[in-house]
A and B are shown apart, each in its own frame.
Chain A
Amino acid sequence: MRVSAGLMIGGSCVATAATILNAFLINKQFYPSIVYLSKSNASMAVIYVQGIVLVYLMFQLLKSILFGDLRAAEAEHLSERTWHAVLETCLAFTVFRDDFSAIFVMQFIGLLFIKCFHWLADDRVDMMERSPVITLRFHLRMMTVLAALGFADSYFVSSAYFTTITRGASAQIVFGFEYAILLALVLHVTIKYLLHMHDLRNPQSWDNKAVYLLYAELFINLIRCLLYGFFAVVMLRVHTFPLFSVRPFYQSVRALHKAFLDVILSRRAINAMNSQFPVVSAEDLAAMDATCIICREEMTVDASPKRLPCSHVFHAHCLRSWFQRQQTCPTCRTDIWQGRNGAAAGGNAADAAANVADANVAGAQIGAGMPPFLPFLGHQFGFPQQPAGAGGAQPGAAQAGGQPGPFPHQIFYAPAPANRPEFMNLIPPPPLPMAGPPGMFPMMPPPPLPQVNTTQGTSSETPPVNPSYSQLSTEELRRMEGESREALLARLQAMDNIMVLLESAQMQMIQLATVTPIRPRPVVPSDESEQEAPGPSTDQVTSEEQEIPATSSAPSIFRTESPSTSSTAPSTSSPVTASSTPTTSSTRTPEAEEVRQRRLARLLGENANQ
């Protein structure tokens, strides 16, 4: 390259000298020679090439003064960026073909010239961190370069601004924005330079330096993107789409995105480290090999070493840098997310605790279920309560049966309640007579008539009963029709008569039941007929005996009650005796015993009433 450059430079000088000499030989005077050169295209081309060569030589001179020998990386970066810059300059020429002129070209070459120095300064500051030897000359050079570049950029920005204001929109807008972006680059380089200087002065390693560098890069890239956006808007309004600024804009956006992601990852790594990994104490450091395997330096308490879940210890800043790219232990490659799993396990434990709480809640629900369960139990209790209520109803019915007790004429019928339980037990529909006394009256005529017929067949006292009913039918019916107390009492008496008749009917049914099993015997038929003949005679005797106490009790009733009731009393007493006579047969001792018990119950009832 140098040889070829030398040849080009030599050739250009020779050509220029030849051109000028030729002009002087032809015209032999200064002014005509200048006119000749300016009008000749070939001569001007040669002079232009020479100008470029001179610019190149000046660049090389300044570069050697300010930067010394370039390194391979720096030279490579410079050539690459120069190529891209030249390409963009050609694109800019196409956009501003109307303003194309020698001054325009010179301005673009000047811009490229200054851009090269910016790039060199940027690379040199980056190299500053790589080289262990930093001399005073280095600092002088860097300060000089940064100051000069900053001043030049500011001057050109202000110049473009004022030119645009005075002359109007023109190519100066492009130069203004280009120098503004270069000014941002100078700011970035200055910030990095200051951070590196601060780090070099500090004997210990500065942990937050990387963070500051990251934020500085983010800030500068943001400014650059804003400048490009503003530039695009202005160009679209004034001229046309700035095609030459597309690539730098894309690069700026990508750099901004990368810096933003780096900041996020860094922040995330820092939070993870601070929250999850414990700091190792001085005692632990003394006990173990206190060397960070990443940076190969001794770990001290000041550096706040961190212990991973796998028990490996590293510097906090070393771990942070590593976690930005991999979430594993540098030594054993254990997945640090297992720590997250551990946290998740803790979460599971919390969930287990929540489950326990849920179980408690379930217990509470069971306790809450008790109320719905208790109502069920209440229902169960209520179910037996129904029979209890029924039991209560039965005593009420018993009390209703006992109500006739206080009445005087009812005292004679006190034994009737004693008979009533048996009656009710024997008769399935007990509520019917209790429920509807008025309805029972239509039932009155059919039952007494057949019973009266049967009583007539058995004894002679039954006929007076019929006349009493026939006699009472008119008078008592009239009384029963009314709603007065007397009418109610009459109805109650009629009901009592019905009860007595029913009981007599039951007794007759029992007699028939006892007679039927005797008839099936073939040997006994003759005996049965013989027994039947004396049976009635003995029954009549017993009936006569029973009639005596009945009549004795009747006078007492006559004394206490009215004659109408006394007339009804003998009618009721006669069927009682009729019903008792068949049970008093000598052969039927159990029936006799029952009759005796009834008599005793009646006597006891009368004594209680007295």
Chain B
Amino acid sequence: MAGYALKRLMTEYKELTTRPPEGIIAAPIDEDNFFEWECLITGPEETCFANGVFPARITFPQDYPLSPPKMRFTCGIFHPNIYADGRVCISILHAPGDDPTGYELSNERWSPVQSIEKILLSVVSMLAEPNDESPANVSAAKMWREDRAQFEKIADSLVRKTLCLPASEV
């Protein structure tokens, strides 16, 4: 089973190398282990995450693409749909079938048709438009909903941190 996953991952790596999507860089950590990828996601324009470069790690299961991979941001990021430890909570990364909590439609969850590029594009879209109805980080969701200015301020500080810039004195 992992053989098919390996071939699939190699094919996707080749596609991402030849036609990289804008604002996304993804590749395996080591050529000996294609089941652990590291990627860099650029914050979407005209949002509080703009100009930011957020590193993340994707771990693929042995039965990929039948099961979804796991994605975790390795930097500190404050977002309603990202847990405190960096794990990403997005419908496309959830196992296929019906959602036990009823927030997601079955057609939004994982399918073998999905790919790494689609996953990363979905994450970028999530950064631009958080889903505050079923948040993974309740504090971030509440702040994003009630105190947008404070949320944007924290996001800006995180962006500066990822860019190794000094904190804003404003």
Q: B-contacting residues of A (Cβ < 8 Å)?
A: 71, 126-127, 129-133, 199, 205-206, 209-210, 213, 293-297, 317-318, 321-322, 325-326, 328, 330-331, 333
Partner of B112, one of A127, A210, A213, A294: A294
Of residues 36 through 60 on chain B, the ones whose CB sits less than 8 Å from some CB of chain A are none
Q: Of B11, B63, B96, B111, which is in contact with the most chain A CB atoms at under 10 Å from its CB?
A: B111
Find out whether the CB atom of A296 lies under 8 angstroms from the CB atom of B12: yes
Please judge, given known A-B contacts A209-B3, A296-B12, A325-B96, whether A130 and B33 are in contact too, CB under 8 Å: yes
Is B133 part of the contact surface with A, judged by Cβ < 8 Å? Answer: no
Please judge, given known A-B contacts A205-B4, A321-B63, A333-B106, whether A131 and B113 are in contact too, CB under 8 Å: no
Is B65 part of the contact surface with A, judged by Cβ < 8 Å? Answer: yes
Give every chain B residue within 8 A of A206 (Cβ-Cβ): 3
Find out whether the CB atom of B31 lies under 8 angstroms from the CB atom of A130: no
Of residues 110 through 166 on chain B, the ones whose CB sits less than 8 Å from some CB of chain A are 111-113, 115
Find out whether the CB atom of B2 lies under 8 angstroms from the CB atom of A296: no
Is B91 part of the contact surface with A, judged by Cβ < 8 Å? Answer: no
Find out whether the CB atom of B111 lies under 8 angstroms from the CB atom of A330: yes
Kindly state the interface size class of chain B when it binds its partner.
20 to 34
Find out whether the CB atom of A199 lies under 8 angstroms from the CB atom of B3: yes
- Complex Cα distance A132/B14, Å? 14
Give every chain A residue within 8 A of B10 (Cβ-Cβ): 132
Q: A-contacting residues of B (Cβ < 8 Å)?
A: 1-8, 10-12, 31-35, 62-63, 65-67, 96-97, 106-107, 111-113, 115
Find out whether the CB atom of B34 lies under 8 angstroms from the CB atom of A132: yes
- Sorted from nearest, which 7 A-B pairs have the closest CB atoms? A129-B2, A330-B112, A294-B112, A296-B11, A131-B32, A293-B113, A326-B96
B74 → A minimal CB distance (Å): 14
Find out whether the CB atom of B62 lies under 8 angstroms from the CB atom of A130: yes
Find out whether the CB atom of B33 lies under 8 angstroms from the CB atom of A325: no
Find out whether the CB atom of B66 lies under 8 angstroms from the CB atom of A322: yes
Give every chain A residue within 8 A of B66 (Cβ-Cβ): 321-322, 325
27 A-B contacts, Cβ less than 8 Å apart?
A: A126-B62, A129-B2, A130-B2, A130-B5, A130-B34, A131-B32, A131-B33, A205-B3, A205-B4, A293-B112, A294-B8, A294-B113, A295-B4, A295-B11, A296-B11, A296-B115, A297-B7, A297-B11, A317-B4, A318-B4, A318-B112, A321-B4, A322-B66, A322-B112, A326-B97, A330-B113, A331-B111
Find out whether the CB atom of A210 lies under 8 angstroms from the CB atom of B1: yes
- Complex Cα distance A321/B5, Å? 12
